[in-house]
Amino acid sequence: MLKIIRILSFITLFTLLTGCAVGTSELQLVEPELSLKDVSATKSVFVNLPTDNRVFNPQTKDPSVPSTEPSNKAVGRKRNTWGAALGDFALAGDQTVNSLVKVALEKAFESNGFKVINNKADIAKSTLVVDSQITKFWTWFNPGFSHITLSANIETDVEIKDSRKSEEKIKIEGRYSEGFQLGLTSNFQKVLQKAYDYFISNATLNLDKPLKKLD
């Protein structure tokens, strides 16, 4: 009887700490509005759809490693205190990790004074072309004694090319962690949104040096 009570106590504690329902929960990220500089007609950029190069490992015990079936909408895995999978987090609607990183890079270039070209037919000789590979886009939790820590990390390798075939490469990252009493879906949403916001801010700042080299 005592053993059963202990098991029920563990289950109750986990439920209170995680607060997550079993199954798939959707997360909808908001694209932050950036202040745009005066856009010069001679400065334009075309951002190709990023490639999702994340490595998925369903057998991993590391919560920070993608562990669902590979999908460009998968952004997190629900686990209990012992590491067993309970469900997952997926991007809502039409959002994918590819589309979110693409618009983040476009906004970063816009804030650096570039006009974003959406049609390949409009690419001019002076237009910069951007390719990128997403290596991380994941949210997870680590249990604690009195609270849990939710974390998120977004990381992308970016290649910027000009008409002279010159190329600049940079790595852009956005990280965020915060402690919570409950692992509610809304809390995972907050953490992933913060990481996404930092990703855009870091992209805006980190583009300055490579753009000067290509100028």
For 36-65, write each residue's pLDDT tens digit: 555 666 789 999 999 999 999 998 889 999
Q: State residue 191's pLDDT score.
A: 98
Q: State residue 207's pLDDT score.
A: 94
Q: Is the pLDDT of residue 161 over 90?
A: yes
Cα 172 from chain centre: 11
Rounded distance between C-alpha atoms, residue 193 and residue 118, angstroms:
25
Arithmetic mean of pLDDT over the chain: 86
Q: State residue 55's pLDDT score.
A: 97
Alpha carbons within 13 A on the beta-carbon side of 148: 26
| Predicted model pTM | 0.86
Q: Is the pLDDT of residue 68 over 70?
A: yes
Rounded distance between C-alpha atoms, residue 130 and residue 160, angstroms:
5
Q: State residue 10's pLDDT score.
A: 44
Rounded distance between C-alpha atoms, residue 186 and residue 201, angstroms:
22
Rounded distance between C-alpha atoms, residue 200 and residue 31, angstroms:
9
Weakest-pLDDT range from 78-87, 100-109, 138-147: 78-87
Alpha helix ranges (H) inside the chain: 2-18, 97-111, 185-206, 208-214
Q: Is the pLDDT of residue 139 over 90?
A: yes
Q: State residue 13's pLDDT score.
A: 45
Cα 129 from chain centre: 22
- The set of residues, in sequence order, having a beta carbon less than 8 Å from that of 110 and lying 6+ positions away, is 34, 36, 39, 116
Residue spans of the domains in the chain: they are 130-215
Q: State residue 79's pLDDT score.
A: 76
DSSP 76: E
